[in-house]
Amino acid sequence: MRILHLDGSGLTLNEATAILRGQVGRLDVPAAARQRIQRARRCLEQILASDRTVYGVNTGFGKLSNQRIAPDELLELQQNLIRSHAVGVGQALPIPVARLAVALRIQALSQGFSGVSWELVQFLLQMFNRGVVPMIPEQGSVGASGDLAPLAHLALVVMGEGSAWLVPPGTNPPAALKPMPGKLVLKKAGLAPYRLQPKEGLSLINGTQISCALLADAAVRATNLATIADLAAAMTLEATKSSLRPFDPRLHQVRPHPGQSASAANVRHLMEGSEILPSHANCSKVQDAYSIRCSPQVHGTFRDALSYVREVVEREMNSATDNPLVFVDTGEVLSGGNFHGQPLALAADLLAAAATNLAGISERRVENLVNPDLSGLPGFLTPKPGLNSGMMLVQVLAAALTSENKVLSHPAGVDSIPTSGNREDHVSMSTHAARKVRQVIQNTTRVLACELLCAAQGLEFLKPLRPGRGIEAAYRHIRRYVAPLDHDRTLHPDLTAVEQMMEDGSLLEAVHAVCPQLC
């Protein structure tokens, strides 16, 4: 278990991955960040002592910002803010995502622009380190003014209200683990509820950390999909006796998108040593279907989109996103719009569209495998078609998931609806976008599992010819858990096994052992 230092900058997606996977046992904020936090707090307190008006500190919120709040009501203002804004509904965010959201909130506060006290940051650290995970409903945010409703549920637990789990970092909680009252969880963790000071409630909820945590999780889940898609395409290419010519490096040098070139190179590496490829060198087929021939162009676009998404996520993880922000050098408190989630919404929508295309081209390759008119293989990849249906419904499953992705890929970030008495008249829907891209990534993973299962079965009919070394390594790894399909059986366990080996990394690990050039 590692210790992760959060100082407001330099947090990477790899470190967020470690948090999501429960590999971070403790968070810490270095002394320099602590000093920044304390300086900003002193600056804010001096401004309040001068009786200046500061939004959300001694005023109401949103359309009520013109309402001045009496000094003896400032603490009640922050409590009321959290209670009134905790209107989230729906399923709870997964525990790893909620845990990451807490870490990202600490990271944002550690920049020293929020004006919160060190005691609040210290309390959040103790929550994380002692395994207190807020129960955060996934619905209720429009992705501007921050993820107000979901973050309010996080803040409720700080106050000893709401609901939470007690899950020490590094442990795998049962899927059916039920949350408990926040006050009870704090007590079990040895913590007393924290009393929010002026501005602290606003600073806890005025940020993009829910959208960012959800998108980070999607990006992490998507990270290996491009390489797995290349593997699936190469296996299908072998099984259908298709051509390697469209992967010639000269073609990709004259259209130098980096992802496209990487994808084509992967297929070439995977097919090194193939005995199947030379067996049909002089066949009459002139060109293959687009789903095989154009796989570098589509897979590469996914790679390039994911690179952009990772950049956006990492910038956002290292940003100050609440409002207003305290600038110690000039003694000013500036109201702005860093809470607006548009960068995250656009990135999530882009990733959803790219992943949907990755699933779409994979589903078409599944059709090329199971359709005897296209593949030259037995119908639906069964030795006795007719008596057996073979992989017929695997293609139907891939089609169903791909079509579901198309619905989910309608861009959320082009939508907006006015809120808060029309004061907040343009919102990003970043939380919607980030929530649904996670489902798109899951569906795409399962479509690729369909292709890998079918392609491995297709190779059975080409024996004793052996595929390329990388493809053979993947085939052998699949066969450790999934037997060839000699006659009809329930395929759900087979699909689950392939999906699991994709997600736990063991499939790519087996391939990298013989094909280390893969990227």
Give me the active site residues, please: 55
User: Cβ distance 28 to 120 under 8 Å?
Assistant: no
Amino acid at 435: R
CB atoms within 10 A of CB 177: 12
CB atoms within 10 A of CB 507: 25
User: Within a 13 Å sphere around the CA of 289, how many CA atoms are in the beta-carbon half?
Assistant: 20
Distance of CA 161 to the CA centre of its chain: 29
CB contact set of 320 (below 8 Å; sequence gap of 6+) = 8, 108, 111, 113, 114, 338
Eight-class DSSP state of 465: S
User: Within a 13 Å sphere around the CA of 32, how many CA atoms are in the beta-carbon half?
Assistant: 6
- Report the run of H or E that residue 340 belongs to, with start and end: none
Return d(Cα 500, Cα 494) in angstroms, integer. 10
What CA–CA distances, in Å, run from 263 to 80, 256, 302, 462?
53, 12, 10, 25
Longest dimension (CA), the chain: 88
User: Cβ distance 296 to 363 under 8 Å?
Assistant: no
User: Cβ distance 405 to 302 under 8 Å?
Assistant: no
CB contact set of 480 (below 8 Å; sequence gap of 6+) = none
Q: State the residue for tokens 């119908």.
A: 379
What CA–CA distances, in Å, run from 244 to 6, 360, 369, 372?
48, 21, 17, 21
